[in-house]
Amino acid sequence: MGGDRIGLVRETCHFLIDQLTPNDYLGLFSYSGDVREDLPLLLMTPEARKLAHLVVEALQASGSTALYDGLEAGVRQQMQAEQELQVAESRVVHSCFLFTDGQATDGRQAPDDIVAGLQVLQAPTDQHMTVHTFGFGAGHSVELLQAVAEAQSGIYYFIKTSEDIATGFGDALGGLLSVVAKNVRVGIRPAPAAALTAFRSGGRMLGSALSAPATSTPSLLSAFGTPSRHSASSAQAAAVVPTAAAFNDMFAEETRECLAVLSIQATGPGTEGVVAVAVVAEVDLEYTDAATGLRVQRTLALQVVRSPAPRPEGQLPAELVFVTVARFDTLDAIEAAQRAAEEGDGRDVSGPHGLLDAHQARLAVALLKSPRLEALAEQTRVARDSIKPRARFDQEGTAARANAVQSLKQQRVGTSTFGCAKYAEQYDVKAKKAYRNASARAAEEFYSKIWTPGHLDTWTPGHLDTWAPGHLGAWSPGRLDTWTPGRLNAWTPGHLGPAPGGRCKCVDMATLFNTGLAASQLPLPRRHELVAAAALAPALAPVFQAGEQPVPAVADLDAQLQALCERVRAAPPAAPAAHAVAGVPVVPLPSEAAAAAGEAVGALSLSAVPEYKQYGVSEGEVVRAVISVKAAAEASQRAQVALTCVLDRSGSMNGDLIGLASQLPLPRRHELVAAAAQAPALAPVFQAGEQPVPAVADLDAQLQALCERVRAAPPAAPAAPAAVGVPVVPLPSEAAAAAGEAVGALSLSAVPEYEQYGVSEGEVVRAVISVKAAAEASQRAQVALTCVLDRSGSMNGDLIGLVKETCHFLIDQLTPNDYLGLFSYSGDVREDLPLLLMTPEARKLAHLVVEELQADGSTALYDGLEAGVRQQMQAEQELQVAGSRVVHTCFLFTDGQATDGPRQPDAIVAGLQVLQAPTDQHVTVHTFGFGDGHSVELLQAVAEAQSGIYYFIKTSEDIATGFGDALGGLLSVVAKNVRVGIRPAPAAALTAFRSGGRMLGSAVSAPAVSTPSRHSAASARGARSAQAAAVVPTAAAFNDMFAEETRECLAALSIQAAGPGTEGSAAAAVVAEVDLEYTDAATGLRVQRTLALQIVRSPAPRPEGQLPAELVFVTVARFETLDAIEAAQRAAEEGDGQDVSGPHGLLDAHQARLAVAPLKSPRLEALAEQTRVARDSIRPRALFDQEGTAARANAVQSLKQQRVATSTYASPQYAAAYDVKAKKDFRYASATANEQYRSKKAIGK
């Protein structure tokens, strides 16, 4: 979106801003590789208007294209606004404009995937946002933009040249500003003697009539005569037929025509000689008047005349019905031809052409003549000409066909440049014409301006900051000039503008709104009050008066704005004012009287026209009718508008290596990196080391050519390139895979609590199911790791440096068979590295990208995490083949609170669940929180929900240790997708099942028997008295298991008394079957094991005081310790924040029970220490201690999962029981790398 295009988009946005009144809302998002909220949704008061102009003028183009993320952000903004403004008689019309000139390269890319994402986003609240899409030039995906516009009830505009941008924008804006009705619904209810067999419209179809016969609508063009009256009666199969259509909005002068087909029965005896009017259906219209906000309902009877006289042969149908059926027939013919072309060989298009030629011939001999039929014939010709052999693909023709399909469905056209001129003439409206002309004039004025050097060159893209040395770190001429942060795009003069001496940092109002420190904290209808207050503040007023001059700097901006925000929040809402804006009429909100008058007049009219003047009575008939909804010629009063513009600010679209790599299949991306490293002009980039990265001429063209070459070539044979200091792990052979299955990565055992149980009475059997991993992997798994790194302002200094160094260490531990991806986030999210195999070339690229990380801005934690999890989900789907050996994981780093997007733990966890639910995936996420600023609750919740570990990093020195611990575990995974299940025998019932994994399945009929405490004086048999049914899980899932690791599950079963004749014998009894299933990480094979849980039942009573099995005793103690800590934590949260004696008492009592336990064990001593750590961490609120809170979180985590993070804050005894060799080794290696970094820094290297 570089050059004139971004300039024209700016100028058109300026025009748009000036058309909105102080009653309208405007929001702006822009996207490249990241998404930025440049302007929150604000009422366009004079001050907000000035701010919007400043933000638009600052837009700069660079980077890749995260189209879906930008669109999702815009739709989400409108959904939230609709919910907040959704009051009785709401007059606000909500809409999004999406601009792009390229393909989606980041995040969701396929049309179906993007449409599905929007549906998932909107489904929970049953909202449906209108989205108009604008695609220009030869680079964009017509299919994608057409699919989005159609799914979101919008219009797709094809902009062939830059001059058409203003025309298209003006057309869409003219329609939006002339909306007279919104949330329009048209429905049909057949009379008792009629059945609805078809209902078509250009809106979203709703409802169904399941009992309707499956009657195909006879072509109104069947030999272009009249359709057979009896053709519908022969179809017997039942079909689902929609009964209503929904339209998001209707413009002034617009008409929407729906086609209904009904089968009506013969009239009853005695009616043969009577001509009568019969009601065959009731038609309902419901809409919200956009001028008044009132909901209007209308009902109309669809009547026909039934006569004993036969209908005259050759009687012509009503023109409206004939043309409407012809419109749908033309649509069907074009779509059928399009499908035939897609299913063909890409060379011979005679079949699709034949379909459209036949349709044109039928139109030519139609019994009726009409300008609308001529327009349909021209649409058919346009579509035919657009279908060409694949080798002669034509973007303009494809867009023309898309416009034809869109206009036939919706009776709306975009700009008429590439549509049929006659068809456009039928459906164009006055308001759209007027705005097209006005917008085109604004574009001409832009062209006539003289662009002087330095006009706005001093601005950082999308912000109002001036650039100063140090913005990109320690800058020196040539050092990093050629780089856009995190990309490989060549830098061009003016990209960041000159750095005039002595200029200080200017007001960054866009960042202000992104941080949530000010306007976004306020209710939507009150945000403009903060802008107005800022414009009146002496220190800030010059910002709004700057005009074309440089925006002046403001000292202590954050503090001043925060103070203003608090003042606005505390004050009562300001009375609505009608601000005067030069050249823009003020639209006052209507009074109650005006609203009542508006309802009486009505914005829409309704009519229903049957096909023929009369129908017979003696036999059944097929009645076709058109239901027509016509909008008023102009609105009695203009609606309020809430518009979000989503603007593409990517570079030249496909202009960087990372964006191009993302377009290739995952296993082939590294081939592009390798090709770039070997290209003579690009090789110096990969050899730069500590030297300045050299500039590359025509970088975009060279990279695009390389990408096409890789795409066209057959996949390269798998190679194992040697990386310095990194052993290569070859993929195992089939023989090795078979051997791996035979040996098994996991072993399974089941230990009952006691050696024997009685036979005369029922018993409660507790047992531990233990899954033990091999001491080491027979062969290391492949790893796919995404690191999500916090680059917000608080990470500046040593923290970001240490994170970089630790990432360098991580990169060097991955082999050429492993994948690595990097996302970084502050107020935006950036894909710094797509998931790439770590070949030598990709390794160099990863090191370069990490070195470019700079800390600045706020903290969009959820957005960064979502992007990382989504990357792993897509990778898992793409690599999901039989024998897949890849272990998928995300690492999330932060030192602060989430400030942008979802912030609460429950909301963030719920968002991840919604993201993963449709594909039933579950990506492991390890979280790293350091310092006193982060939310322990949030990171613990995310790690627990995603089967990961939360690491608390107290000081910067601990970063490497924590990262090394997590990496050591990841690289020692021996099994993934582990499932442990239990199936009780017929004489047993499962009453409890606990583990540290995700619980699955249920045994609903199991009695609700609480697992008796080891320390209870009551007999375990006392549990039999509980009668209520309970839901008991029957299986547990673990994402992965490390070498040496053990997972222990506790099961409790109620077994019946043994049958007659067993009193005198001791015998073994199977009380349950235990199933283990997992994927061997070294071989990729799925392994299944089954083990019988046996006990001995004896007539002799169990000796009093017999000790239970130590494993069972300790496991029950572990879960009781967990329950005691969580109960104490809940008690502390529910208390007054001062008195913590209650929570302390709970944990003191538990420690006392552990002290007098009949068994002694180091693991029990470790549990007592965990209890003490948790007790000490619970303090009065005034003495809150981050370290103690994290220690308690680590205790809870380790008790649940039998995993510890670094042992710094956990119990050393507990850590010793569960630590593994691989994690120790990597902690040590990572700490060594950290020391080397500090040594380098100390000597100034």
Of residues 399, 443, 515, 635, the one with CA closest to residue 9: 443
The answer on pLDDT for 789 being more than 70 is yes
What's the mean pLDDT in 479-493? 28
pLDDT of residue 545: 57
Contact 60, 461 (CB under 8 A): yes
Domain that holds residue 921: 781-971
Sequence letter at residue 805? E
- Which phi-psi region, left, alpha or beta, contains residue 627 (left: φ > 0; alpha: ψ -120 to 50)? beta
pLDDT at residue 359 in the model: 92
Mean pLDDT of 358-379: 88
Q: How far is CA 641 from CA 4, 42, 83, 93, in A?
A: 29, 11, 15, 5
Q: What is the pLDDT averaged over residues 392-410?
A: 78
Please indicate, yes or no, if residue 428 is contained in any of the structural domains. no
Q: Please compute, for residue 61, the number of CA atoms within 13 A of its CA located in the half-sphere on the CB side.
A: 24
Helical (H) or strand (E) element with 848: helix 840-851
Q: Clarify whether residues 959 and 815 are in a common domain.
A: yes
Q: Residue 1137 in 3-state DSSP? A: coil
Q: Which of 159, 82, 158, 74 is nearest to 114 (CA)?
A: 74
CA distance 1087 to 1101: 40
The answer to whether the pTM exceeds 0.75 is: no
Burial of 106 (0-12, 13-18, 19+ CB in 10 A): buried
785 and 919 part of one domain:
yes
CATH number at residue 866: 3.40.50.410
Claim to verify: residue 820 and residue 963 sit in the same structural domain? yes
Give residue 423's identity as a one-letter amino acid code: Y
- Specify which residues 1053 forms β-bridges with: 765, 990
Residue pLDDT, tens place only, 1135-1176: 888 888 998 999 999 999 999 888 888 888 888 888 888 888
Number of structural domains the chain divides into: 3
Residue 829 sits at the vertex; the CA angle it makes with 823 and 832, to the nearest 5 degrees, is 35
pLDDT over 60 at 392, yes or no: yes
- Are 186 and 256 in contact by the 8 Å Cβ rule? The answer is yes
Question: Rounded to an integer, what distance in angstroms lies between the CA atom of residue 587 and that of residue 24?
Answer: 9
- Assess whether pLDDT exceeds 90 at residue 1199: no
User: Positive or negative CA dihedral for 1122, 1128, 1134, 1136?
Assistant: negative
pLDDT band at 491 (very low <50, low <70, confident <90, very high): very low
One DSSP character per residue, 732-784 reads PPHHHHHHHHHH-SEEEEEEESSS-EESSS-EEEEEEEEEEE-SS-SSPPEEE
Tell me which residue has tokens 């322990």. 936
- Are 842 and 942 in the same domain? yes
Q: Which residues touch 231 (CB under 8 Å, ≥6 apart)?
A: 215, 218, 622
Query: Does 1042 share its domain with 1083?
Result: yes
Q: How far is CA 866 from the centre of its chain?
A: 7
Q: Find tokens 């030598």 and name the residue.
A: 840
Q: 3-state DSSP call for residue 1073?
A: strand
Are residues 1098 and 985 both part of a single domain? yes
Task: List, in sequence order, every beta strand (DSSP E) within 917-972.
Answer: 924-930, 950-953
- How far apart (Å, rounded) are the C-alpha atoms in residues 845 and 488? 9
Asked whether 524 and 43 are in contact (CB, 8 A), the reply is no
pLDDT digits (tens, 9 = 90+) for 913-970: 999 988 888 999 998 887 777 788 888 889 888 988 888 877 766 777 777 788 888 8
For residue 266, pLDDT beyond 90: no
Q: What is the pLDDT of residues 13-66, one digit of tens each?
A: 887 888 888 888 899 998 887 888 888 888 888 878 888 888 887 777 766 778
Q: Locate tokens 């449906």: which residue?
A: 128
**Among 128-137, 305-314, 349-358, 807-816, which stretch is predicted with the lowest mean pLDDT?**
305-314
> If you write DSSP's letter for every residue of 800-834 in order, what string do you get?
HHHHHHHHHHHHHH--TT-EEEEEEESSSEEEEEE
Angle among Cα 189, 242, 72 to the nearest 5 degrees reads: 130
Residue 301, pLDDT score? 93
Regarding whether 786 and 895 lie in a shared domain, the answer is yes
pLDDT at position 312: 76
636 within domain boundaries: no
- Between 807 and 353, the more confident residue is 353
Residue 242 lies in a domain: no
Tokens 């505009």: give the residue: 157
Asked if the model's pLDDT at residue 558 lies above 70, the reply is: no
Question: What residue type is 1116 in one-letter code?
Answer: V
Secondary structure (3-state) at 396: helix
pLDDT tens digits for range 999-1047? 887 543 344 334 445 444 333 333 333 333 457 888 999 988 888 889 9
> Which of 316-330, 544-558, 642-656, 874-888 holds the top average pLDDT?
316-330
As to burial, measured by CB atoms within 10 angstroms (0-12 exposed, 13-18 middle, 19+ buried), residue 570 is exposed
Among 777, 645, 760, 697, CA closest to 1099: 760
Note whether residue 858 is domain-resident.
Answer: yes
Indicate if the pLDDT at residue 302 is higher than 70: yes
Place of tokens 């086609």: 259
What CATH code is carried by the domain that includes residue 984? 2.60.40.1510
**Of residues 1174, 1150, 1157, 1162, the one with CA closest to residue 1213:** 1162
CA distance 31 to 101: 12
Instruction: Report percent pLDDT > 70 for the chain.
Output: 70
pLDDT above 80: residue 1233: no
Q: Are 644 and 31 in contact (CB under 8 A)?
A: no
User: Do residues 919 and 790 both lie within one domain?
Assistant: yes
Residue 1124 has pLDDT above 70, yes or no: yes
- Nearest Cα residue to 850 out of 828, 874, 830: 830
Q: Of the ranges 122-126, 357-361, 544-548, 632-636, which one carries the lowest mean pLDDT score?
A: 544-548
Q: Decide if pLDDT at 275 tops 70.
A: yes
Choose one of 951, 971, 991: the last residue of a domain.
Answer: 971
Residues 1001 and 1086 grouped into a single domain: yes
Listing DSSP states for 642-657 in one string gives EEEEEEE--SSSS-SH
What is the rounded CA–CA span in Å between residue 988 and residue 765? 9
| Residue 1222 placed within a domain | no
Please state, rounded to an integer, the average pLDDT across all residues of the chain: 74
The rounded distance, in Å, linking the Cα atoms of 203 and 205 is: 6
CA distance 26 to 1061: 84
Same domain, 997 and 1136: no
Write down which residue in 971, 991, 1012 finishes a domain. 971
Residue with the larger pLDDT of the pair 702 and 988: 988
Percent of the residues in the chain that have a pLDDT greater than 90, as a whole number: 18
Mean pLDDT of 737-753: 69
- 804 and 852 within one domain: yes
Q: How is residue 620 annotated by DSSP?
A: -
791 and 854 in contact (C-beta within 8 Å)? yes
> Model confidence at 750, in pLDDT bands (50, 70, 90)?
very high
Judge if 959 and 991 occupy the same domain: no
496 contact partners, CB below 8 Å, separation of at least 6: 460, 467, 471, 472
Examine residue 845 and state whether it is found in any structural domain, yes or no: yes
Domain termination residue (choose one: 1076, 1102, 1128): 1102
pLDDT at 1052: 93
Q: Is residue 759 part of a domain?
A: yes
Higher pLDDT, 1140 or 220: 1140
3-state secondary structure 451-496: CCCCCCCCECCCCCCECCCCCCCCCCCCCCCCCCCCCCCCCCCCCC
**What Rg do the C-alpha atoms of the chain give, in angstroms?**
35
Question: Is position 1119 within any domain?
Answer: yes
